[in-house]
Amino acid sequence: DAGVTQSPTHLIKTRGQQVTLRCSPKSGHDTVSWYQQALGQGPQFIFQYYEEEERQRGNFPDRFSGHQFPNYSSELNVNALLLGDSALYLCASSLGRGSAPLHFGNGTRLTVT
C-alpha cells in the first residue's frame, strides 16, 4: 500500500520563475494538505483541498496556488519565486472533509537561487 508520494524530490529554480510540485495521496484518501517547512522551522499550513476545491488557506500570498484532480492527486504551484520560498514542501493526505492530515510524504526540497 503506497503512502503519500511527492515529486520531484529536489528542485532548483531561479528567482522569478514558476514551479509545480506534485502529490499523490495515500490509497483511499481524498483530502490533500500542503505545508511549507523552512530550514530550522516547523511546517506551516498552506492550504487544504477536498473535492477539487481549496477549503482553507493559511497565511500565504496568492503566488501560491493549487489544484486537486478527480483522482485526488494534487499540485502546488508557486509563481514569481523569491529566495524566501526555498523550503521543504510537504504534502499530507487524509480521508474525509475536514479530516486531520495524519500521513505525510517525504517532501520536495525547493531551492531558489
Catalog residues that contact other proteins under the rule CB under 8 A: 4, 33, 35, 40-45, 48, 50, 55-56, 58, 90, 92, 94, 97-107, 109
What is the rounded CA–CA span in Å between residue 110 and residue 113? Answer: 10
- Minimum CB distance to other proteins, residue 7 (Å): 13
- Minimum CB distance to other proteins, residue 100 (Å): 5
- Minimum CB distance to other proteins, residue 77 (Å): 19
What is the rounded CA–CA span in Å between residue 94 and residue 36? Answer: 18
Nearer residue to other proteins within complex by CB, 5 or 79: 5
What is the rounded CA–CA span in Å between residue 85 and residue 23? Answer: 18
Count how many residues are written for the chain: 113
Please name the residues in contact with 62: beta carbons below 8 A apart, sequence gap of 6 or more. none
Nearer residue to other proteins within complex by CB, 45 or 65: 45
